[in-house]
Amino acid sequence: QKEVEQNSGPLSVPEGAIASLNCTYSDRGSQSFFWYRQYSGKSPELIMFIYSNGDKEDGRFTAQLNKASQYVSLLIRDSQPSDSATYLCAVNPVSNDYKLSFGAGTTVTVRA
Amino acid sequence: NAGVTQTPKFQVLKTGQSMTLQCAQDMNHNSMYWYRQDPGMGLRLIYYSASEGTTDKGEVPNGYNVSRLNKREFSLRLESAAPSQTSVYFCASSRLAGGGTDTQYFGPGTRLTVL
């Protein structure tokens, strides 16, 4: 079982809609969860992190964490063409001595 | 403040050749990392250095060696390149090695092709 799993997509949403990205993880002892955005041909850049159950909002982005279900999600509200990218979920599992484990990423395309 | 820099940006090698990828950070971070990214595989950790003077293997260390030259610089060496090492290589740094909400910052990447 992979430590971090994401739907690979592609996820296609119309401009202005909500994009919902999901991520599950296997190590119940994981403490912190990160969402990175990666444009084609570029390096990953941090969007936000979350470490407590519930929601965390930052502008148009909302991260949701449910440790009991070992599930973290990212919502992008009012999606813009500039949000078209691959979104990487990263987790710091106890089993990996708290080094980050990355999912394979979900590719999002926002249709104008 | 350049963040994390990597050289070269692109490289083509023949099987068996060697090369060193350079990485430097100017954020006074303690920890540095080397990842490779292949299609559909996400980022996989090759080696990391929790602090100056220490290095440890990651998930896919075979065929690679690293040197933490000083607090700023962390290099990755391929002694005898193989086609399986064709990938995009990212260097990253963070204030601390793991735990809490320690954030990793990535360099622009090196696109390596081994023929």
Judge whether A51 is closer than 8 Å to chain B, CB to CB.
yes
Res B97: pLDDT: 66
A92·B106 Cβ contact <8 A: no
What are the chain A neighbours of B106 within 8 Å (beta carbons)?
Answer: 43-45
Res A7: pLDDT: 85
A100·B106 Cβ contact <8 A: no
A43·B107 Cβ contact <8 A: yes
Work out whether strand A11-14 and strand A106-111 pair parallel, antiparallel, or are unpaired.
parallel
- Greatest Cα pair distance, chain B, in angstroms, is 42
Mean pLDDT of chain B: 93
When pLDDT is averaged across residues B59-65 and rounded to a whole number, the result is 95
Mutation site for A-interface testing, chosen from B5, B21, B104, B111 by largest number of A Cβ within 10 Å: B104
Res B64: pLDDT: 98
- Burial environment of residue A49 by CB neighbours within 10 A (0 to 12, 13 to 18, 19 or more): buried
Res B102: pLDDT: 78
Res A8: pLDDT: 78
> Which range is least confidently modeled, B28-42, B54-68, B73-87, B99-113?
B99-113
Res A98: pLDDT: 66
**B37-63: burial string, b at 16+ Cβ within 10 Å, e else:** beeeebbbbbbbbbeeeebeebebbee
Does B99 score more than 60 pLDDT? no
E strand or H helix at A28, and its extent? Answer: none
Res A106: pLDDT: 95
Q: Which residues of chain A have pLDDT under 70?
A: 1, 98
The pLDDT tens digits of the residues spanning B24-40 come to 999 999 999 999 999 87
